[in-house]
Amino acid sequence: MENENILTIKDLDVRLFTDRGELPVIDRLSLTLKAGETLGIVGESGCGKSMLASAIMGLIAHPGKVTGGSIQFEGQELVGMKKKDLRKIRGTGISMIFQEPMTSLNPLMTCGRQIVETITAHEKVSRAEAKERALAMIRSVGISRPEKVFSEVPAQLSGGMRQRIMIAMALICRPRLLICDEPTTALDVTVQAQILGLIRRLQKETGTSVIFISHDMGVISQMADRVAVMYAGQLVEYAEGEKIFTEPKHPYTQGLQAAIPRLDEEKDTLLSIPGSVPMLYDLPKGCIFSPRCTHATERCGNERPALVENSGHLVRCFLYEENPSKGGTQA
């Protein structure tokens, strides 16, 4: 399955149905993920990253709804799939690590029991075998006292240890796709580095494909083979990781890059992008980034740019419309 697409998202549309009307959380987004690859998805809070993860997992809840497009995992269409069939795919086909483990782990159940129940929910194995596998997985995620942690509840563990338990639960049934939704945001930098290294090591050992979601370009630069930049529900740039970090095209991507603190540069102040992500009920008429963009023209305020291909990038910006290498692609 090497180099084949394990996940194909085409024209995905997700909306929230509210008193203010239909709000476009994800607007006609298309992405692919190859077997064994890590796809980084980056953007500020409110850009739709976590909602995309929920859509892939089939966890969009009212008032949200997938209103169009396709999500195919290993050739199976997930949009519209029955809940019982989705449950079979979760855990064994697709698994997810959430941002804050305390909201995902059962506070009243021991860590070991939670991992064991993950196994027995998907596989017909004895409790004894499930326990042995759980202990082995706890050990593999870098916990030196697996027997003790097996019997402890999440509140007895540090944040980094809880996240390791979440990783153990996510990988225990050997999923082909792992979604990491800001898994290191609540951790200090030392523990963050350990968790990122752990995910990279386990991915290399298992061959699992990874979607890594973050608002931190520095973290994405360490993890991703390819990078998708999202802004207010739209894909605004998409390219190989090296290209994104050495030749960012979209003004938003350039702003995210400029905001990364660098030890080799002396700066009195950190750079930031002026303004904030627009509210979904008050999106600009034209380019959704235009109110924050230093390159914005009158056209940007009135028209929505399409994705165009330019030097190996897909970029949603009129700056590249006139001379794309292979023409424009609406998405």
Domain that holds residue 193: 5-93+173-250
Name which of 91, 54, 56, 52 is nearest 72 in CA terms.
56
The residue whose two tokens read 């942690």 is: 149
Residue 78 lies in a domain: yes
Residue 144 lies in a domain: no
Q: What percent of the chain has pLDDT over 70?
A: 93
Pick 239 or 327 by higher pLDDT: 239
Question: Cα separation of 29 and 9, whole Å?
Answer: 7
Question: Cα separation of 31 and 71, whole Å?
Answer: 9
Give me the pLDDT at residue 265, please. 62
H helical segments located in the chain: 49-57, 83-89, 111-122, 127-140, 146-150, 159-171, 189-206, 217-223, 241-246, 251-258
The residue whose two tokens read 């979904």 is: 280
Give the residue-averaged pLDDT of 228-253: 96
Please state whether 128 falls in left (phi above 0), alpha (psi between -120 and 50) or beta.
Answer: alpha
Instruction: Indicate whether 329 pLDDT > 50.
Output: no
Q: Nearest 5 degrees, angle CA 244-CA 331-CA 254? A: 25
Q: What is the CATH number of the domain that holds 182?
A: 3.40.50.300
Instruction: Indicate whether 327 pLDDT > 50.
Output: no
Classify the C-alpha dihedral 299-301-304-310 as positive or negative: positive
- Pairing of β 76-77 and β 64-73: antiparallel
pLDDT tens, position by position, 80-101: 999 999 999 998 999 999 877 7
Q: Helix axis angle, 159-171 relative to 189-206, nearest 10°?
A: 10
Classify the C-alpha dihedral 208-227-33-187 as positive or negative: positive
Residue 305 lies in a domain: no
Name which of 235, 198, 221, 194 is nearest 331 in CA terms.
235
Instruction: Indicate whether 326 pLDDT > 80.
Output: no
H or E stretch covering 28: strand 21-34
Token pair in block for residue 222:
């360490």
Pick 291 or 263 by higher pLDDT: 291
pTM flag (> 0.85): yes
Question: Cα separation of 191 and 211, whole Å?
Answer: 20
Question: Cα separation of 289 and 82, whole Å?
Answer: 37
CB neighbours of residue 65 within 10 Å: 16
Instruction: Indicate whether 262 pLDDT > 90.
Output: no
Name which of 182, 176, 175, 215 is nearest 196 in CA terms.
182
Domain count, the chain: 1
Instruction: Indicate whether 328 pLDDT > 80.
Output: no
Residue 328 lies in a domain: no
Q: What is the mean pLDDT of the chain?
A: 90
